[in-house]
Structure 1
Amino acid sequence: MERAVDWMPDIVDLVLYLLGGLSVIVWSIILIKSWAWYQSRRASTHFLAECQQVQTIYELPKLISGSQSSFARLCDAGMRAMSAVMANAVLRKNERHEVILLSLKQQAYLEHKRMDGGVAVLASIGATAPFIGLFGTVWGIMNALRTITATGSAGLDVVAGPIGEALIATAIGIATAVPAVLAYNYFMRMQKEHRADLEQVASHFQSLLTQSGLEG
């Protein structure tokens, strides 16, 4: 029994180290993705404003070349697809339209995926961290009860250590989960807005293409 008592606190320590590592991962993802979104929005704001002022599709190449935004890459994919279908005399009008539309959809998916990295990790940590902390809490209480059984004493000096570790595990589990969940919700909202903007730019590109008559 004494051997089990000596070994069990190591499990609580392992839980604390695990939660500490998860917390580092959470804050690393938050900082990296926040910087990525800041750069993306800074590059995209000007492009979105200028894109709405474009009247013909021939104005897009100049706008695309001066931007590093995901919306510029989307339009660039559309321009490259347009050049390819216009060089193919075999394709009919509706087929050309479908090829260009498919190219826009594929690029939009790539841009969405580019900004999606790490979000699933936040969701997983936010969902599991409290339970990992609870596991540490339960184990700490079990260790306290085993200590009482082994020593025959329920004094504060006997149970304070194991109970303290148990409560710390719970606190760290919650402290890890809360920022993960909040960051997940924030980045998902950003993703939703980004997807809507991609769809808006793709629709504007198709409108310019139709007005130019290049589909046919």
Structure 2
Amino acid sequence: MPHHIHPAVIVDGTLYTLLAFSIATWSLIVFKIWQFARNGYQNRRFSNAFWEASDLESAKAIPIMAVRGPQARIAQRGFGWLSEMRSTSAQALKFRGSPEELLGQTLRIQTQEEQCALESGLTLLASIGSTAPFVGLFGTVLGIMHALHEISQSGSASLDVVAGPIGDALIATAVGIAVAVPAVLAYNFFGRRAKQHRQALDHFAGSFLHLVFNADGNQG
């Protein structure tokens, strides 16, 4: 350790870093709770309206009135593709091939975009959960090194002299663990919820594709 850098500065910097990790973790937790609750509500609202529609034309009008929500955006993407294919008489290269397969690919692309939005921030939670204990341990090691150096200079190794500095140094490890635990739990919880949402979106996209190509015995 460079002699011109006081160990207390580095230890304090470690604690402030862990504080920043904690703020980021809880901010993400609050945001993801809101995001999943909002998407779940919007999906339920749109799904009820979509499957209660009398025909595809009625269902096509629903995304205009309820444009928000992953399922609504998937349906919009699908209806948009169908409209573009009809307006261009399917002459463009992007419409060459089986209409069912092309529409399925379009729906999968939108589903992947929605999944990426749901998974945003999870990598940061995983990174904080895996690195926070080591950051805390780093602060503890530096604190103990400083404490041992001060003990050697004082020439006393009594319990009163040793326990205080080393006990203070261990605080960094405790803080690192306290920061990591919520991050890991949140990552596992939201990762499981994201997987459930992805399955629901895949199911809706598959049902939409089946409906379009079987409603009138052709591609809509």
TM-score, normalised via structure 1 length: 0.89
Structure 1: gaps of 5 or more residues: none
Contact 1:56-1:208 within 8 A present in 2 as well: no
Match of 2:124 in 1: 121
Match of 1:85 in 2: 85
State the AA in 2 paired with 1:74: I
Q: Pick the aligned partner of 1:103 from 100, 106, 122.
A: 106
Structure with greater contact order relative to length (CA < 8 Å, sep ≥ 6):
1
Structure 2: gaps of 5 or more residues: none
Distance in 1 (alpha carbons) for counterparts of 2:119 and 2:134: 25
Distance 1:84 1:166, change over 3 A: same
Q: Tell me, yes or no, if structure 1 residue 62 matches structure 2 residue 34.
A: no
Q: Which runs of 4+ in 1 moved over 6 A?
A: none
Q: How many residues align?
A: 215
Percent identical residues:
40
State the AA in 2 paired with 1:71: Q
Contact 1:55-1:208 within 8 A present in 2 as well: no
Q: Pick the aligned partner of 2:134 from 131, 136, 155.
A: 131
Q: Tell me, yes or no, if structure 1 residue 76 matches structure 2 residue 80.
A: no
Match of 2:44 in 1: 45
Distance in 2 (alpha carbons) for counterparts of 1:45 and 1:90: 34
State the AA in 1 paired with 2:118: M
What's the C-alpha RMSD, in Å, of the aligned pairs?
A: 2.4
Q: Tell me, yes or no, if structure 1 residue 17 matches structure 2 residue 16.
A: yes
Quote how far apart the aligned CAs of 1:196 are: 0.5
Contact 1:77-1:107 within 8 A present in 2 as well: yes
Contact 1:64-1:75 within 8 A present in 2 as well: yes
Match of 1:185 in 2: 188
Quote how far apart the aligned CAs of 1:156 are: 4.2
Distance in 1 (alpha carbons) for counterparts of 2:19 and 2:160: 27
Contact 1:5-1:147 within 8 A present in 2 as well: no
* 1:145-198 C-alpha deviation (Å, 9 max, x unpaired): 111111111234433442122221111101100000011011111110111111
Question: 3-state SS of the aligned residue for 2:147?
Answer: helix
Question: 3-state SS of the aligned residue for 1:14?
Answer: helix
State the AA in 2 paired with 1:10: V
State the AA in 2 paired with 1:20: L
Q: Pick the aligned partner of 1:215 from 184, 206, 219.
A: 219
